[in-house]
Amino acid sequence: MSDFILETKNLTKEFKGFAAVTDVNLRVRRGYIHALIGPNGAGKTTVFNLLTKFHTPTSGTISFNGVDITRERAADIALRGVVRSFQISAVFPHLTPLENVRVALQRKLGTAYHFWKPASTLHRLNDRAMELLDAVGLSDAAGVPTVELSYGRKRALEIATTLALEPELILLDEPTQGMGAEDVGRITALVKRVSTGRTILMVEHNLKVVSTLAGRVTVLQRGAILAEGSYDEVSGDPRVMEAYMGSAHA
Amino acid sequence: MNRYIWLILFALGLAAPFAVYPVFLMKLLCFGLFACTFNLLLGYAGLLSFGHAAFFGGAAYVTGYLVKNSGLTPELGVLAGTLCAGILGFVFGSLAIRRQGIYFAMITLALAQIVYFVALKAPFTGGEDGLQDIPRGMLFGVIDLGKVYAVGGKSLELNLYYFVFAVFCLGFWLICRTINSPFGQVLKAIRENEPRAVSLGYRVERFKLMAFVISAALAGTAGATKALVFQLASLTDANWHTSGEVVLMTLLGGLGTILGPLVGAFTVVTLHSELSSAGSWVTVIIGFTFVVCVLLFRRGVVGELARLLKKSL
């Protein structure tokens, strides 16, 4: 197996003539936490949506574990082991946390289309669901309506749901966005914990989080890759400083 | 929900024809089931269909035609109507499901208008008159559904009533089961957060299409049964007014609640029949009721009740 779990070749996306992303060659090494950073409008979210198949690339290819997934459906890459999160916490607000996690678990049962079976056939997934909730510190809230959880806990629930699919590659879209300092610390620790044995690619604004977590960093600017390397290499790069600050000496 | 409440409701349903005019009760049951199928789609899958009359009316015509001209027994007639409505639902669904919100509603409306036009113009539908004198026939070839019993000075169509009641219970049970099934769980997840459901590996179009077909087929069951009760399949059944009425019933009773659409349908049908002497004022009064309900009970009658009791009804 190749060292790179996810690779893109000349990935390009144009929206009605405007090139949001041009010729991005991204390589995500297996087992690393890889961060995608860049100033506003650099195309991070577009790249992210291309990788997760929520957008179709204008040209270029994406391969996962050496398999070309450029033309696959968003729902199908989840079956291959690629699961994404969203900028705004992606939970099912009117289901309980237990049910949230179970929605992810139940696909394996193969009864997702069975409308004639009682929902109680899902109860055998409860133990596994509780384990997952426990892992993110939510076992005390398993039965309350998800809408009532705090923002940080919703994000934790989202991670538990993602883990339920046992993904090889997790794509996190700004996991700490909109959080207070306390929650940021908790989620950072959680991401670190779940990264064992997995690869994580994340888009993140908070450079402190990036410096704590990421083994590899790719900097995007104006839809193209500006620099790539470890956090220290990248943060010392004058071009990166200029992109962020406006000039190298600021 | 409490088992006892279900038992009480079931017992009430069994005893009702001795207290209330059976044909009226059967109308309630048919429209109740119809509203439940609509609620399955809008309340649990988040899809606003504005063409449900096409399934209701379409099935009424198919069942009426087959029972009248091919001599099908009533249960087979209803089954045929259900099946046709399901197939029609598959066609409508496949075309409309790719669009969302108002566009979805518009496509379903447009397709339903085509069905209405066919009902108006086709040679076998009776045009403006509709299909009349549909025989009620012999259930399983044995039980005469047209039989009238004289009980305490009243003449009751008990055989037909219990047949309709059984069909209703079966349809209603199937809807409840669909809502509370592994499939229903995914459906709710899609309604709550579609992109997330996609990222968890669910092909949401398939789930939506399946919900649409189930809903359409059972709306057909309701329409087919109605055709047997009134011995008539008319243009009103397939008209867009009927599509609009079912939206009103569901919202009035409580969207996304199990009992809401029943309450809504019963209210609207009762108002229609009680106020029939008021002529065209019926529309005004129902409109007024609807406005008051929307202002006072945003979640519908049952929805508000459920909130007060902190239970799901």
Q: In whole angstroms, what is the distance from residue A95 CA to residue A126 CA? A: 14
| B123 lies in some domain | yes
Q: Per-residue pLDDT averaged across A120-148, rounded? A: 87
| B131 lies in some domain | yes
Contact B193 A104 (CB under 8 A): no
At A228, list the tokens. Answer: 């790539």
Q: Suggest the residue from B175, B181, B210, B212 to mutate for an interface test with chain A (most A CBs closer than 10 A).
A: B181
ipTM value greater than 0.85: no
**Residue with the larger pLDDT of the pair A138 and B80:** B80
pLDDT at B277 over 60: yes
Question: Please, what's the b/e burial string for B70-85 (b: 16 or more CB within 10 A of its CB; e: otherwise)?
Answer: eebbbbbbbbbbbbbb
At B119, list the tokens. Answer: 């009902």
pLDDT band at B1 (very low <50, low <70, confident <90, very high): low
Q: In whole angstroms, what is the distance from residue A221 CA to residue B42 CA? A: 43
Q: Show residues of chain A in contact with B177, CB under 8 Å.
A: 115-116, 118
- Say whether residue A145 is in contact with chain B using an 8 A CB cutoff: no
- Say whether residue A168 is in contact with chain B using an 8 A CB cutoff: no
Which residue on chain B is closest to A87 by alpha carbon? B196
| B91 lies in some domain | yes
Give the whole-number percent of chain B exceeding pLDDT 90.
Answer: 43
What are B245-259's pLDDT values in tens digits?
899 899 988 888 888
Q: Centre a 10 Å sphere on the Cβ of residue B43 and count the other Cβ atoms it contains.
A: 24
**Shortest Cα–Cα distance, B208 to chain A (Å):** 11
Amino acid residing at A40:
N
Contact criterion met (CB below 8 Å) for A192 and A200: no
Amino acid residing at A235:
S
| B171 lies in some domain | yes
Q: Which residues, in sequence order, are CB contacts of A132 under 8 Å at separation 6+?
A: A101, A160, A161, A163, A164
Contact A91 B193 (CB under 8 A): yes
Contact A78 B196 (CB under 8 A): no
Contact B195 A103 (CB under 8 A): no
At B145, list the tokens. Answer: 């559904």
Kind plus residue range of the DSSP H or E element containing B256 = none
- Per CATH, the number for A1-80+205-250 is 3.40.50.300
Alpha helices in chain B (DSSP H): 3-15, 22-45, 52-69, 74-96, 101-121, 158-179, 182-192, 194-199, 204-230, 235-238, 240-253, 260-274, 281-296, 300-309
**How many residues does the structure list for chain A?**
250
Q: Suggest the residue from B200, B205, B310 to mutate for an interface test with chain A (most A CBs closer than 10 A).
A: B200
| Domain range for B228 | 19-239
Amino acid residing at B25:
L
Q: In whole angstroms, what is the distance from residue A187 CA to residue A136 CA? A: 9
pLDDT of residue A90: 85
Give just the sign of the alpha carbon dihedral A164, A169, A175, A181.
positive
| B146 lies in some domain | yes
pLDDT of residue A99: 92
pLDDT at B57 over 80: yes
pLDDT band at B150 (very low <50, low <70, confident <90, very high): confident
Q: In whole angstroms, what is the distance from residue A209 CA to residue A178 CA? A: 13
How does strand B232-233 pair with strand A224-229? unpaired
A103 closest CB neighbour out of B177, B189, B204: B189
pLDDT of residue A250: 41
| B176 lies in some domain | yes
Which residue on chain B is closest to A105 by alpha carbon? B200
Q: In whole angstroms, what is the distance from residue B262 CA to residue B303 CA? A: 12
* Environment class of B15 (CB within 10 Å of its CB; exposed 0-12, middle 13-18, buried 19+): exposed
| B259 lies in some domain | no
**Lowest-pLDDT range, B42-46, B139-143, B182-186?**
B139-143
Q: Per-residue pLDDT averaged across A208-223, rounded? A: 87
Give the mean pLDDT of chain A: 86
pLDDT band at B223 (very low <50, low <70, confident <90, very high): very high
Contact A107 B202 (CB under 8 A): yes
What are B118-149's pLDDT values in tens digits?
988 888 888 888 888 888 877 787 777 778 87
Contact A93 B200 (CB under 8 A): no
What are A29-46's pLDDT values in tens digits?
998 899 998 888 788 888
- Integer angstrom CA distances of residue B53 from A8, B18, B67, B220, B238: 50, 31, 21, 9, 5
SS3 A226: strand
Q: Which residues, in sequence order, are CB contacts of A176 under 8 Å at separation 6+?
A: A183, A184, A187, A188, A204, A206, A209
Q: Per-residue pLDDT averaged across A146-163, rounded? A: 88
Which residue on chain B is closest to A164 by alpha carbon? B200
**Residue with the larger pLDDT of the pair B112 and A152:** B112
Nearest-10 crossing angle of helices B158-179, B74-96: 30
CB contacts < 8 A (A, B): 103
- Say whether residue A90 is in contact with chain B using an 8 A CB cutoff: yes
A118 closest CB neighbour out of B181, B192, B204: B181
pLDDT of residue A205: 83
- Integer angstrom CA distances of residue B238 from A231, A234, B241: 66, 67, 8
pLDDT band at A236 (very low <50, low <70, confident <90, very high): confident
Give the mean pLDDT of chain B: 88
- Say whether residue A159 is in contact with chain B using an 8 A CB cutoff: no
Q: Show residues of chain A in contact with B192, CB under 8 Å.
A: 92-95
Contact A115 B177 (CB under 8 A): yes
Alpha helices in A106-237 (DSSP H): 126-135, 151-164, 181-194, 207-213, 231-235
What are A195-208's pLDDT values in tens digits?
888 999 999 888 88
Q: What one-character-per-residue DSSP string does B4-16 give? A: HHHHHHHHHHHHG
Phi, psi of A71 (to 5 degrees): -100, 10
Q: Total domain count for chain B?
A: 1
Q: Which of B2, B28, B3, B31 is nearest to B13 (CA)?
A: B28
How does strand A27-29 pair with strand A4-15? antiparallel
Q: In whole angstroms, what is the distance from residue A41 CA to residue A28 CA? A: 22
Q: Show residues of chain B in contact with A103, CB under 8 Å.
A: 185-186, 189, 197, 200
Torsion of CA B173, B177, B179, B182, to 10 degrees: -170
B198 closest CB neighbour out of A74, A94, A95: A74
